[in-house]
């Protein structure tokens, strides 16, 4: 599979990547052997870029991805995770008497024995990376993204980004960037900082091409890379049916109808 160098960094990624939210029990439980099989299938297909985050399954995604990749040469693949949410155990005194509930309110079918703390401070960034290294069972992370800083813009630009820039300068990480749905803030990162890459989720798809307005032209002009995530808009384009999700919520009727029309066209032409 073709490799691409991210921005002006030395980090290379394959043209396709494995997004590990699913193996963190996104929406419904995934058995451990199924998670490993998914990573193995991606590897066998030539994928060598794997992306995860503490947010995904309250750390479950990072742990499972690390376990599935263990034993493979570390220089043979590229690994990214994200910062901005630090995980902390829920004190036993705060747990319900009948045990912890689930985390489905945040989209993950895992016990809510931990909680996410928004933290885009410099100390929070370092702590998050250290925790991720432990969960992943590795000695390095190639790419680190600021994750969903939508409502923490000042802290993200004033504290978190400089912290990542310093870590890159120290050689702790190879490439830095931001990952989110909001193209306007991603465009600001491209224009105003020295990020290597941004991860744009759900905004360069058959249903939403808003990344074309400013983000992609700006990134191209400045030599910054864009990783496109959420290409199926969290499910609707992969399986258009009543109950399908769009941007992690129930798909609006109008978008479902558009997706069904697209699906009918591809079926007429014998395309999957």
Question: Residue 157's pLDDT is what?
Answer: 99
Question: Residue 123's pLDDT is what?
Answer: 98
pLDDT level of residue 103 (50, 70, 90 thresholds): very high
Distance CA 1, CA 20 (A): 19
Query: Which of 3.50.30.60, 3.90.850.10, 3.40.50.620, 3.20.20.100 would CATH assign to domain 3-231?
Result: 3.20.20.100
145-166 residues labelled b (16+ CB within 10 A) or e (exposed): bbbbbeebeebbbebbbebbee
Distance CA 268, CA 265 (A): 5
Distance CA 124, CA 179 (A): 17
Residues 6+ apart with CB under 8 A from 269: none
Specify whether the CB–CB gap between 188 and 224 falls below 8 A.
no
Distance CA 89, CA 115 (A): 6
Q: Which tens digits make up the pLDDT trace of 140-177?
A: 999 999 999 999 999 999 999 999 999 999 999 999 99
Greatest Cα pair distance in the chain: 59
Distance CA 127, CA 40 (A): 30
- Is the per-residue pLDDT at 272 higher than 80? no
Q: Tokens 């009918």 — which residue?
A: 264
Active site residue: 27, 49, 56, 248, which one? 56
Tokens standing for residue 106: 């945040």
The domain ranges of the chain are: 3-231, 232-272
Query: Is position 56 annotated as part of the catalytic site?
Result: yes
Helix axes 183-192, 215-222, angle to 10 degrees: 20
Computed over its alpha carbons, how large is the radius of gyration of the chain? 19
Q: Please compute the mean of the pLDDT values over residues 5-13 and round it to a whole number.
A: 98
Q: Which tens digits make up the pLDDT trace of 235-250?
A: 999 999 999 999 989 9
Question: Residue 153's pLDDT is what?
Answer: 98
Q: Please compute the mean of the pLDDT values over residues 107-128 and round it to a whole number.
A: 98
The secondary structure of residue 252, as a DSSP letter, is P
Question: Residue 46's pLDDT is what?
Answer: 99
Return mean pLDDT, the chain.
97
Distance CA 180, CA 187 (A): 11
Distance CA 116, CA 85 (A): 6
Stated length of the chain: 272
Residues 6+ apart with CB under 8 A from 18: 38, 39, 42, 47, 49, 50, 51
Q: Please compute the mean of the pLDDT values over residues 179-201 and round it to a whole number.
A: 99
Q: Please compute the mean of the pLDDT values over residues 192-219 and round it to a whole number.
A: 98
Residues 6+ apart with CB under 8 A from 130: none
- Is the per-residue pLDDT at 99 higher than 90? no
The secondary structure of residue 205, as a DSSP letter, is S
Question: Residue 30's pLDDT is what?
Answer: 99
The percent of residues above 90 in pLDDT, for the chain, comes to 98
Q: Please compute the mean of the pLDDT values over residues 28-34 and round it to a whole number.
A: 98
């Amino acid at each position: 599979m073709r490799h691409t160098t991210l921005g002006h960094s030395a980090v290379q990624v394959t043209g396709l990547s494995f997004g590990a939210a699913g193996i963190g029990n996104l929406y419904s439980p995934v058995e451990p052997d199924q998670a490993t099989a998914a990573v193995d299938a991606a590897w066998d297909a030539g994928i060598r870029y794997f992306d995860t985050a503490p947010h995904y399954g309250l750390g479950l995604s990072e742990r499972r991805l690390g376990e599935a990749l263990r034993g493979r040469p570390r220089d043979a693949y590229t690994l990214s995770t994200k910062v901005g949410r630090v995980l902390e155990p829920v004190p036993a005194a705060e747990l319900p008497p009948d045990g912890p509930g689930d985390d489905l309110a945040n989209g993950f079918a895992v016990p809510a024995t931990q909680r996410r703390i928004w933290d885009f401070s410099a100390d929070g960034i370092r702590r998050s990376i250290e925790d991720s290294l432990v969960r992943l069972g590795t000695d390095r992370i190639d790419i680190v993204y600021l994750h969903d800083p939508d409502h923490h813009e000042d802290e993200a630009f004033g504290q978190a980004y400089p912290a990542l820039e310093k870590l890159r300068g120290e050689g702790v990480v190879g490439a830095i960037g931001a990952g989110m749905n909001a193209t306007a803030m991603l465009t600001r990162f491209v224009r105003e900082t020295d990020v290597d890459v941004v991860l744009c989720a759900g905004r360069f798809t058959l249903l939403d091409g808003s990344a074309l307005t400013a983000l992609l032209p700006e990134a191209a002009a400045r030599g910054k890379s864009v990783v496109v995530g959420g290409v199926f808009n969290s499910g609707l384009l992969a399986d258009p049916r009543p109950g399908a999700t769009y941007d992690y919520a129930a798909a609006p009727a109008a978008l479902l109808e558009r997706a069904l029309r697209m699906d009918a066209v591809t079926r007429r032409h014998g395309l999957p």
